[in-house]
Amino acid sequence: MLNGKTIAFLVAPEGVEQVELTEPWKAVKQAGGEPKLISTDSGQIQGFNHLDKAGTFAVDDTVDNADPASFDGLVLPGGVANPDFLRMQPKAVQFARAFFDAGKPVAAICHAPWTLIEADVVRGRTLTSWPSLRTDLRNAGATWVDQEVVVDAEGPNVLVTSRKPDDLKAFCQAATDVFGK
């Protein structure tokens, strides 16, 4: 149980794979946590079902204002455009890196490890992702494996990763378990 722990969900204004946002969000709430949507812009973000626009979601705070110290963990949903945008935003990259620097747990699915590569926090870690990131992760010093979910506790924090929406059940369970510790 998360017992009121606050978990940040970092997403771009457009391009997040909606189910990779909504399922972990629901899992955090069901475990007793408080999810907060953080983005680079205030207002709303646009979710996608692959390449088709889906729902919109209200932003709770921006990376300009949100203090990583006020969160107990971080979720990085995927989608191709979402992490590709975030990794080009220095404040978003700094926000993600702050969780590693503070030893806080992070969960990333699908293409989300692109943001972690930019934050330079995957070296020496074992993780998984959407298969097209395999070479990027290896080039950044990570060990890439093709598994439903990977929980790596070798670094300063625990890192949970999964490959795709089909892995969401295992991803959500592993992430809430790690956030609850």
Helix (H, G, I), strand (E, B) or coil at 102: coil
What are the two backbone dihedrals, phi and then psi, of residue 159, each rounded to the nearest 5 degrees?
Answer: -120, 120
User: Which residue's entry shows tokens 């620097």?
Assistant: 101
Q: How many CB atoms lie within 10 A of CB 49?
A: 13
Catalytic residue positions, numbered: 110
In 3D space, the residue among 154, 115, 156, 155 whose CA is nearest the CA of residue 133 turns out to be: 115
